[in-house]
Structure 1
Amino acid sequence: MFNLANNLTLARIGAVPILVILLYFPGRGACIAAMLVFIAAAVTDIMDGVVARSRNLVTTLGKFLDPLADKLLISAALVMLTRLGWVEAWVAVVIIGREIAVTGLRAVAADYGVIIAADRFGKLKTVLQMMALCPLLLHFPVWGWDPAPLGSVLLYLALVLTLVSGVNYFYSFGKTAAWSEKSAR
């Protein structure tokens, strides 16, 4: 249960309170530290999957914790950035709301015996969200370059992909549920 892949996922969850504390009193140093913590946590997202598949360490706990860790990390960053006024609240609400909706959809799908795995849109959405949040967390200009506009553009692109991937999950499940209802008759 507590293999290397799951421990990497747990480390990502453990990064969440550190990120929140760093952003609670934002300054240049705290923002740089928050971005580095976020990047390190994001890297564990790549590593845990690679380790789990290459060492045959895929577990039910890992399948549950991995997407939960992503949602906690991204949601915490969005909430704190909204608190600071660096991200518009409606953007955070839409992104977090989509995550909750897809999580609920997965629970309903499980009742149908359907497992909704992350598809390419969902994976790309997570990568784009993480890429957007890095410059937004950095916030302060570095060597004369302001990272906030890049982060904002990437976040709006991530928002569109977030919605597209959410609609895709619901559409795909709707087709599967309709087929299974039809087959049951």
Structure 2
Amino acid sequence: MLNPANKVTLARIIAVPFLVLLLHFPSKPLNAVAMIVFILVALTDLADGIIARRWNFVSNLGKFLDPLADKLLISSVLIMLVSLGWVQAWMAIVIIARELTVTGLRAIAADQGHVIAADSFGKFKAVIQVVALCPLILHYPWWGIDPQPIGLLLLYLALILTVISGTKYIYQFFRQINRE
């Protein structure tokens, strides 16, 4: 059950509280460390998928833990950024609501024997979310450049992609359910 791919995913989940702790004490050096940790943790999402597919470690536990780890990572960072006043709450709510909605619909579909697989659009949305959160985590000006406007612009793009992706999942869910 705890194959190498699942161990990488669990490491991602375990890293989230450390990231939250770093963001709880905002300062230029700790935010830089937080961004590096965030990037490394986000990259483990690629690693566990590659390990699982290449060496046939795909498991039901992994199928459950991988999206959970993704949602914990993104949601935790968004909530911390809202608590610091660096991101507006409504933005975090839209993103987190989409993630919870899609997760719920996937669970219902799976219970009925259907699979709503992640598509390339949803994966692109996830990448843009990670890229948007990096400058927002940095927050403080570096070498005369304020990363906040860049991060917010990218977060608006991520929001648009989040809504479109969520709408696609909802459409796929009802299309598959109505086929029966």
Q: What interval of TM-score do these two structures reach, taking the shorter chain for normalisation?
A: over 0.9
TM-score, normalisation: structure 2:
0.97
Map Cα deviations across residues 7-48 of structure 1 (whole Å, 9 max, x no partner): 111111111100111111101111011101101101101111
Match of 2:15 in 1: 15
Over the matched positions of the two proteins, sequence identity in percent amounts to: 61
- DSSP 3-state at the match of 1:175: helix
Equivalent position amino acid for 1:22 in 2 = L
Match of 1:6 in 2: 6
Match of 2:139 in 1: 139
- DSSP 3-state at the match of 1:131: helix
Match of 2:44 in 1: 44
Q: Distance in 1 between matches of 2:145 and 2:94?
A: 29
- DSSP 3-state at the match of 1:103: helix
1:13-92 paired onto structure 2 within 5 Å: 13-92=13-92
Q: Which runs of 5+ in 1 are unaligned?
A: 181-185
Question: What count of residue pairs does the alignment treat as equivalent?
Answer: 180
Q: Distance in 1 between matches of 2:156 and 2:146?
A: 17
Structure 1 runs of 4+ aligned residues shifted over 4 Å read none
Match of 2:119 in 1: 119
Equivalent position amino acid for 1:117 in 2 = A
TM-score, normalisation: structure 1:
0.95
Match of 1:166 in 2: 166
Match of 1:183 in 2: none
Equivalent position amino acid for 2:108 in 1 = V
The Cα of 1:107 is off from its aligned counterpart by: 1.6
Match of 1:157 in 2: 157
The Cα of 1:111 is off from its aligned counterpart by: 2.6
Match of 2:129 in 1: 129
Equivalent position amino acid for 2:92 in 1 = A
Deviates more, 1:103-112 or 1:52-61: 103-112
CA RMSD in angstroms comes to 0.8
